[in-house]
Structure 1
């Protein structure tokens, strides 16, 4: 593939000839705020330019994000990160992303791979900026990173259940935001007006990167996670997408009864069932620069990984995203949608974590949905605390389809707002009512 790479930095043009499989001019123009505006003939070309621009600005953060998702930080930063790495191995972000990467759509795979080629090009040109601990770039890392982004929400839900059972979970950091969406009838301009105000850290995986790029189907302005080419908050020429934290209960903890004669067995409907035991090795850097390879065991019941034990009970965390990699494709479909119907079709994949999603379109539509994979629970089950896992009658019955989720389209009030609050208090006399859900 041949790429001719032009970079315009505050009026200064720099040309690169990049040997690849086809010829394409990719131009990066930075505005007075340093935000890259990327111009290409194809979506892959635009993604390539985005990778180069991200690396130019935040290379070390990209590489650290990949290691964070893989669970290999302690190999670089030492034993303080061992528990973090162990948690990522429990959730298998790396293994599932590697295994399922071929299931990502060909279009998104092409965008991901072009993006990483842009990152690699910058690394090749600036070897002095590449940290010695840099991982080899692999496209599945983008998918592993998308899984890590999701995980804080359902893991936090399940952590609250553990607390209710008298088990103290590890702290989960929450992130809030504000959003407003005004309908044309309330707008002086006669068109929808959208605002998103994310309250996120300057550092870590939730550090956003702003860009504007033009390709074939991609004509986007917004923000993405460092290490990913997928814009998640922003707009194309047809619609805007905004999100704040908030969802239904998307995870549970099941209390498993252990066999007193064999702690690797648990009860199911009066019989003992063997846990699945996985072994993994976490490499930990020591102060002298050498490494310890520490073998860990991860125990799983039919409900999920065991995250705590107490008084003859094991507590397994059930998260409905365990095998899921759909966020990348879903976000791409949302950000290339041309109308509300296409945006709703993208949301129907249920790949998003729990969010208050608002969509405004040039057709004048405004729409809200409280997203997330919400389990269908049997009657009588209390998901606010650990659920007895020794009887199968308490097991999930499936996942609620999008039609069951709290949502609102073109409310008569002509506006929506959400600052991490219940959807039933988003507007005066809200048409959404708790009794309906």
Structure 2
């Protein structure tokens, strides 16, 4: 009996020893603390990367828990299963394109360290939800628990199947440039800077909702101190800066998605004169009913040599081919980009080409500025941009591409003699003017020929005409509400109205003459002009296609006069009719023509309702805001300035920021609306980059037990 007891004690001792050894080997996720500043921005300080990612998952959950869980559920292709019919279309797109299955493969392909980081972030989300059950909605809890595969699926879905290859493009016969998803980005070099320090402007324009929103944070661990924004639910910053360098990204003109028309035959499709069979797989889509039960829908996914069939009608099928689906290192590349201390490190990271699209703008404190047309660009055997922006033949190998261009082939500009770089979603050729890259030296399908939007012209004009630029100048220019389009045609409109001679027309002329061509809170005449433009172009739906190449202008755009053309009105009679019709509408709705812009356009979230400023990008407003109608006859931003960061790479770093809609969406958070007053007043707030600054502006602290 005694020997048996000794044996049991020895075994227990060994088990305890093994457990202790295992505990020592397993990294602790909880060696971190979060300093929450008075704007709800988390400054996370951690002793290792896993703890940093864990705390970041926790922080995103505290400020946006319901939203990110909804996004992770959609990335599984289970939005309809969790929340009903509203999500069916989005789920089908995820299922057709095998998003979740590919995320499982990508998780296995991650380097061990990154896999641990992603696991830690997911655990942070789960722990927050389990420890704060009253803070997460019952609907959002249906997704729990999440894991690292969900994170990857979400990043993959948003990047590849919302931005690069959206379902909405199926309805379009040709890819169109516009301001629907856009951004501004600048880099100013020492020769153009008043202090000799480089300057960077980061300014994404996206919808004020859902997966398009951003979360502002600072991440600090050994070898890491980076500040910026994540796309909602991403486990890494997607635009960031550190003490010595930083970058912005803008939606670019990369065509990484192609539609192929297939001729159906004998249960398959024609291919090089023969019939080729589809690879088919049956998948399931579950849809929650109002009584809580689930209805199941079977989806047969047909794969062609090009990719999945995404549409089938009238004996024809459309298959979609998307670039970058073998690039599993996107999240790690973002992580390393945020840490890059200078241009050499940054180029080494971005040359991996794991992110399939976006123009990248970089600056460092060594005096370097850099612009890259970052893209997975297919090596296409035939055709130009216009050819590939439509639907191409899918019955022949002569149109099939199997490779993408390497980094060395992509348009890029480094330290131009102009001293500045810019991008506002136009093709890469006008990164600086005069142009450094000749578009004729690149494949005709890589990007459209040189062109400019009116917002691009505003950007180029401000940078070109400035002598020496300070950080305050960057802020002032960024907040410019000048309507570039107005400078080109208001004079003609006034002349037309005066010549018409009626009392109504003279009143229109007087209002437009007095207007300063801006969309500030008190600007009078801006709303009348806005209503005119929408009628002149043929309706709201055509506004995004308004560009400098439009035939509505008498004098066409000329690259040699990059920000003074086009000008004049090609059809004065039609323009006058549109103007008088707009005046009639404004007076009927608001009682007068000189209604102030901020009276009609409001910055409104919950019970905060303030005068708005900024305006439509297609009309050339650099402080872009897209107007969405409300039930009370006012307008609110549905898209536009989301986050702005103006950074000077001085020693120490100087920076100002604003996250327009606040840094939280949880219903009990005051940080949903606290930055709207600054937005209305055209102000920005300082960044608190040092720990001392964060502690001086501390709202609360979260400390994780070791």
Partner of 2:368: 365
Among 384, 392, 402, the alignment partner of 1:387 is 392
> In the alignment, does 2:154 pair up with 1:145?
yes
Shift of 1:173: 9.9
Contact 1:350 1:402 (8 Å CA) reproduced: yes
1:111-163 per-residue CA deviation (whole Å, 9 max, x = no partner) reads 21121222222112112223342332111111111111212233159937961
Contact 1:160 1:385 (8 Å CA) reproduced: no
1:269-313 per-residue CA deviation (whole Å, 9 max, x = no partner) reads 111111111111111100111111211111111101112223322
**What's the C-alpha RMSD, in Å, of the aligned pairs?**
2.3
> In the alignment, does 2:111 pair up with 1:105?
yes
Q: When the two structures are superposed, what TM-score results if normalisation uses the length of structure 1? A: 0.88
Contact 2:250 2:359 (8 Å CA) reproduced: yes
Shift of 1:32: 1.9
Shift of 1:317: 0.7
Bigger shift: residues 374-383 or 196-205:
374-383
Partner of 2:348: 345
Among 408, 411, 414, the alignment partner of 1:409 is 414
Shift of 1:386: 1.9
> In the alignment, does 2:430 pair up with 1:420?
no
Distance 1:190 1:80 in 2: 53
Shift of 1:339: 2.2
Contact 1:161 1:384 (8 Å CA) reproduced: no
Among 151, 155, 166, the alignment partner of 2:165 is 155
Among 121, 125, 145, the alignment partner of 1:119 is 125
- Structure with the bigger percentage of helix: 2
Contact 1:35 1:211 (8 Å CA) reproduced: yes
Shift of 1:188: 2.0
Partner of 1:283: 286
Contact 1:161 1:253 (8 Å CA) reproduced: no
Distance 2:130 2:313 in 1: 52
- In structure 1, the gaps of 5 or more residues are 1-19, 166-171
Contact 1:161 1:386 (8 Å CA) reproduced: no
Shift of 1:413: 0.6
Partner of 2:614: none
Shift of 1:26: 1.3
Distance 1:394 1:83 in 2: 29
- In structure 2, the gaps of 5 or more residues are 1-25, 443-706
Shift of 1:384: 2.8
Secondary structure at the residue paired with 1:369? strand
Partner of 1:294: 297
1:218-259 per-residue CA deviation (whole Å, 9 max, x = no partner) reads 211000123222111011233101011113321211111111
Partner of 1:186: 192
Partner of 1:12: none
Shift of 1:365: 0.8
Secondary structure at the residue paired with 1:140? helix
Partner of 2:36: 30
Larger Rg: 2
Secondary structure at the residue paired with 1:141? helix
Moved >6 Å (runs of 4+)? none
Among 329, 333, 337, the alignment partner of 2:332 is 329
Distance 2:306 2:168 in 1: 12
Bigger shift: residues 91-100 or 131-140:
131-140
Q: When the two structures are superposed, what TM-score results if normalisation uses the length of structure 2? A: 0.56
- Structure with the bigger percentage of strand: 1
Shift of 1:60: 0.7
Contact 1:143 1:325 (8 Å CA) reproduced: no
1:60-118 per-residue CA deviation (whole Å, 9 max, x = no partner) reads 11101101211111012211211110110011111111122021122221221121222
Partner of 1:315: 318
Relative to 1, partners in 2 of residues 1:157 and 1:374: Cα closer, same or farther, differing over 3 Å? Answer: farther
Relative to 1, partners in 2 of residues 1:433 and 1:309: Cα closer, same or farther, differing over 3 Å? Answer: same
Relative to 1, partners in 2 of residues 1:341 and 1:214: Cα closer, same or farther, differing over 3 Å? Answer: same
